[in-house]
Amino acid sequence: MSRQRYTEAFKIEDVKQVAEWGHPVAEVAARLGVSGYSLYPWMKR
């Protein structure tokens, strides 16, 4: 079983939804099928 790889553009758009638009991390993660634990490191970068 291989891990899903996400493009930088995908990550940037996800982080924008949280940082600029104020959406909760859990909501964005659930909507996009991404773990919240994946989203937090993207935000740090």
Distance CA 18, CA 27 (A): 9
* pLDDT at residue 26 in the model: 92
Distance CA 30, CA 25 (A): 9
* pLDDT at residue 5 in the model: 85
Q: What is the pTM of this model?
A: 0.72
* Angle formed at CA 25 by CA 22 and CA 30, multiple of 5 degrees: 120
Q: Examine the pLDDT at 10 and tell me if it is beyond 70.
A: yes
* pLDDT at residue 1 in the model: 55
Q: Examine the pLDDT at 9 and tell me if it is beyond 60.
A: yes
Q: Examine the pLDDT at 39 and tell me if it is beyond 70.
A: yes
Annotate the chain with DSSP letters as a single string. -PPP---HHHHHHHHHHHHTT---HHHHHHHHT--HHHHHHHHH-
* pLDDT at residue 4 in the model: 77
Every domain of the chain and the residues it spans: 8-44
